[in-house]
Amino acid sequence: MKPSVERIRHELKFRIAEVVRCQRLTPRMARITLHHSDFAQFPSLAYDDHVKLFIPQAGVPLAMPMAGPNGLVWPEGAARPEGRDYTPRSFDQARQEVVIDFVLHGDGPASTWAARAQPGDRLGIGGPRGSFVVKGEFDYYLLVGDETALPAIGRRIEELPAGARVIAYIEIADAAERQAFATAATVEIHWLERAAGAPGLLAAIGAADLPDGRGYAFIAGESATSTAIRDHLVTDRNLDSDLIKAAGYWRRGEADHDDGHEH
Ligand SMILES: Cc1cc2nc3c(=O)[nH]c(=O)nc-3n(C[C@H](O)[C@H](O)[C@H](O)COP(=O)(O)OP(=O)(O)OC[C@H]3O[C@@H](n4cnc5c(N)ncnc54)[C@H](O)[C@@H]3O)c2cc1C
């Protein structure tokens, strides 16, 4: 099949889901399973889909917006919760569950909430509004990111079929943050551990020996790093810019960073 990328829209829905399981996947990654009857139709077609999570505040009723013609409409007088973007790491329509992996990076409404979450807690969840589907076969898939991109990268590695070749560069705090993925694909993962003094993502990609042939590159994580890696791949490696998706998932020193992607 000829490679192509296609954007598919979904009806935008908002729900207040219930936490049903909390697991500490690694010391700095919390895996939280959410339940809502509407997840029986949860639409997530692409590994880098995102949902908007609305974080409850102690003592304040959790208000949910509705999708209006000119953006979100909030109930009058309601306190608006903080919203942050997260990747549906996996979902199970039969069990009506969606799984989110949260990096516990420190201070921030989402990270703080996830560190303390318990079964029975509530969390607002909107979307996904659309999916960016990469179709067809590529000679290789280059997946690059820090721990915030691990949910998307892990989902991608697990869904690629036998015969697919994956090269991943993943920056993490230390060896305890490594994850294992069950996949039929052929996968080469370079874990870049900050505690071990590993080079950063840009330096590692700069020194990487990329295969010949047509590759598709997915880059996500700290915003300035993602942009620099994309520029390097286009300018110095002659990768086709249409076959690169680079996203800023957070920005150092900035809460609720928005890199212009659709919500
Ligand atoms: C499309 C998309 C998908 C994403 N998927 C995921 C996901 O599946 N899992 C996930 O954990 N994150 C994911 N992120 C990143 C996440 O939305 C941000 O890290 C977000 O800022 C976390 O919100 P917060 O309330 O914890 O911190 P904020 O209030 O937004 O930020 C508070 C402070 O923490 C800093 N900060 C934020 N994130 C990090 C970080 N990771 N490391 C170090 N410092 C940080 C900020 O610079 C700021 O100074 C995704 C982002 C996007 C855009």
Structure tokens at 235: 């300018």
pLDDT band for 2, please (50, 70, 90 cuts): confident
Of the candidates 35, 56, 52, 61, the residue with the CA atom closest to the CA atom of residue 113: 56
pLDDT band for 259, please (50, 70, 90 cuts): confident
Q: Ligand 1 centre and the CA of 70: distance in Å?
A: 26
In this structure, the residue with its CA closest to atom 53 of ligand 1 is 249
What is the reported pLDDT for 27? 98
Q: Ligand 1 centre and the CA of 108: distance in Å?
A: 8
Distance CA 50, CA 28 (A): 20
Q: Ligand 1 centre and the CA of 147: distance in Å?
A: 10
Of the candidates 49, 51, 112, the residue with the CA atom closest to the CA atom of residue 85: 51
pLDDT band for 125, please (50, 70, 90 cuts): very high
What is the reported pLDDT for 236? 97
Residue type, 68: G
Q: Which residues contact 51 (CB under 8 A, 6 or more apart)?
A: 85, 86, 87, 88, 98, 100, 125, 126, 127, 128
3-state SS, residue 123: strand
First to last CA, the chain: 30
pLDDT band for 258, please (50, 70, 90 cuts): confident
3 pLDDT exceeds 90? no
Distance CA 44, CA 48 (A): 9
* Contact (CB, 8 A) for 167 and 140: yes
DSSP H or E stretch at residue 19: strand 14-26
Which atom of ligand 1 lies at the shortest distance from residue 151's CA? 8
Q: Ligand 1 centre and the CA of 222: distance in Å?
A: 9
191 pLDDT exceeds 80? yes
In this structure, the residue with its CA closest to atom 52 of ligand 1 is 249
Distance CA 7, CA 9 (A): 7
How many percent of the chain have pLDDT more than 90? 92
Residue type, 89: R
Residues 22-30 have a mean pLDDT of: 98
pLDDT band for 64, please (50, 70, 90 cuts): very high
Residues 13-34 have a mean pLDDT of: 98
152 pLDDT exceeds 70? yes
Of the candidates 141, 109, 123, the residue with the CA atom closest to the CA atom of residue 3: 141
Q: What is the DSSP letter of 120?
A: T
Residues 66-94 have a mean pLDDT of: 94
Distance CA 113, CA 152 (A): 21
Q: Which residues contact 180 (CB under 8 A, 6 or more apart)?
A: none
In this structure, the residue with its CA closest to atom 6 of ligand 1 is 86
Residues 78-102 have a mean pLDDT of: 97
pLDDT band for 261, please (50, 70, 90 cuts): low
Counting every residue written for the chain, the total comes to 263
Which atom of ligand 1 lies at the shortest distance from residue 109's CA? 25
Q: In testing the pocket of ligand 1, which one of 102, 105, 219 has its CB within 8 Å of the most ligand atoms?
A: 105
197 pLDDT exceeds 60? yes
Mean pLDDT of the chain: 96
Residue type, 236: D
Q: In testing the pocket of ligand 1, which one of 29, 51, 103 has its CB within 8 Å of the most ligand atoms?
A: 103
Q: Ligand 1 centre and the CA of 136: distance in Å?
A: 31
Largest CA distance in the chain: 58
pLDDT band for 173, please (50, 70, 90 cuts): very high
What is the reported pLDDT for 262? 46
Q: Range with the lowest mean pLDDT among 1-10, 177-186, 218-227?
A: 1-10
Q: Ligand 1 centre and the CA of 214: distance in Å?
A: 31
Distance CA 119, CA 178 (A): 26
Phi-psi category of residue 170: left, alpha or beta, with phi > 0 → left and psi -120 to 50 → alpha: beta
Residues 84-110 have a mean pLDDT of: 98
Q: In testing the pocket of ligand 1, which one of 31, 101, 111 has its CB within 8 Å of the most ligand atoms?
A: 111
Domains along the chain with CATH numbers: 4-130 (2.40.30.10), 137-250 (3.40.50.80)
Of the candidates 123, 131, 124, the residue with the CA atom closest to the CA atom of residue 14: 124
